[in-house]
Amino acid sequence: MPIIVNLDVMMARRKMSLNELSEKVGLTLSNLSILKTGKAKAIRFNTLEAICKVLNCQPGDILEYADNEANTTVR
């Protein structure tokens, strides 16, 4: 999939555990884990907004597009 999820990177930068993020965002651990591992098929804007608010970041800090054909990453 050309969309890369960098949630683990932002969590590490903020020194926040998955449990803590789950509590603050109001998502289950399993749903956050699916997102974190890149297995999610979609994300709601209000979920993305809540994650960005808690992690004090922009959506582009969490989601990244990588063009596999050109082997480049676009941010």
- The separation between CA 45 and the C-alpha centre of its own chain, rounded to angstroms, equals 12
Residue 11 has pLDDT above 80, yes or no: yes
* Cβ pair 9, 37 in contact under 8 A: no
The mean pLDDT value for 70-74 works out to 56
Helix (H, G, I), strand (E, B) or coil at 65: strand
SS3 5: strand
Where are the domains positioned within the chain? 3-74
Q: Is the pLDDT confidence value at 56 over 70?
A: yes
Predicted confidence at residue 74, as pLDDT, reads 56
| Identity of residue 60 | G
* 3-74 has CATH 3.40.50.720 classification: no
Using CA atoms, how far apart are residues 19 and 61, in angstroms rounded to an integer?
20
Q: How far is CA 56 from the centre of its chain?
A: 12
Instruction: Give pLDDT tens digits for 28-52.
Output: 999 999 999 989 999 999 999 999 9
Can you give the pTM of this predicted structure? 0.84
